[in-house]
Amino acid sequence: MTSTSLITGASSGLGTEYARQLARRGDRLVLVARNEARLEELAGELTGAGAAGVEVLSADLSSPAGAASVVDRLTDAARPIDVLINSAGFGLPLAFENSDIEDEARHLMLHVEVPMRLMHAALPGMLARRSGTILNIASVAAFMPRSTYGAVKSWQVMFSRWANSRYRSRGVTVTAVCPGYTHTEFHERLGLAKGEEGIPDWQWLEAPRVVEESLRDVAKGKAVSVPSKRYKAITTVAKLAPTGLMAKLAARGR
């Protein structure tokens, strides 16, 4: 049976890669982001790549009206969503004490309030059908003290762990995907040109691999997926190491 997958942040990076891999398996896709032109271009590509159908839903998720339009789509009983991927996100360029508090509030909203609202909208239908899959794209930063970014990602991991344990036996899995540094537009949007991020080459991952590995973990019903052996090792150490040491190490890259 054809699945319908709704992906936020589909216009770039990991969201685009999820859309490509799910199109190849024949899913119907609902693409969400602000940049409508990029979503339309991607929709054309995905239709040629095997997607059963592609809808473009342009929305600014940091506005209540934008988030509400996606909630409406998720609760449309005539067109059920089987897979929800919360990938929309961004980083903040300044240290917390210097950042604009309104930017911080948007950051908190996009990474915490919006995924919570979208999950809350998607879950009743999924539970009624006894089938559903939710992915929250968190980060390895969830396991280290790293300003508000680490804090919001840690919320995503903790909430996914709880939700997976609560709903898995009722047919709905919830997985927090925790990538390490991955080549996307994330760092460029922070104002850092390629090579200026202060991150050694060995720490970079490529989006296709992150997505492929995470989808394997999702199929196994895991609550947390940390793609790549090197980041599995790093997160294991991070859970045991003292907070001060991890905060220093985490402050090195952007």
Ligand X SMILES: NC(=O)c1ccc[n+]([C@@H]2O[C@H](COP(=O)([O-])OP(=O)(O)OC[C@H]3O[C@@H](n4cnc5c(N)ncnc54)[C@H](OP(=O)(O)O)[C@@H]3O)[C@@H](O)[C@H]2O)c1
Segment 145-184, which members bind ligand X (CB under 6 A)?
179, 181-182, 184
Q: Does 51 bind ligand X (CB under 6 A)?
A: no
- Of the residues 3, 139, 147, 214, which one makes contact with ligand X according to CB under 6 A: 139
**227: contact with ligand X by CB under 6 A:** no
43 binds ligand X per the rule CB under 6 A: no
Which segment (28-36, 120-128, 228-236, 237-245) binds ligand X by CB under 6 A? Answer: 28-36
Dist. CA 252–CA 127, nearest whole Å: 43
* Per-position x/- string for 62-101, each x denoting binding to ligand X as judged by CB under 6 A, each - no binding: x------------------------xxxx-----------
Establish if 185 lies at the interface with ligand X (CB under 6 A): yes
Distance in angstroms (rounded) separating the CA atoms of residues 252 and 146: 11
Residue 225 lies near ligand X (rule: CB under 6 A):
no
Q: Of residues 40, 45, 55, 60, which one binds ligand X by CB under 6 A?
A: 60
5 binds ligand X (CB under 6 A): no
The one among 189, 209, 232, 254 contacting ligand X by CB under 6 A: 189
Binding site for ligand X (CB under 6 A): 8-15, 33-35, 60-62, 87-90, 110, 137, 139, 179, 181-182, 184-186, 189
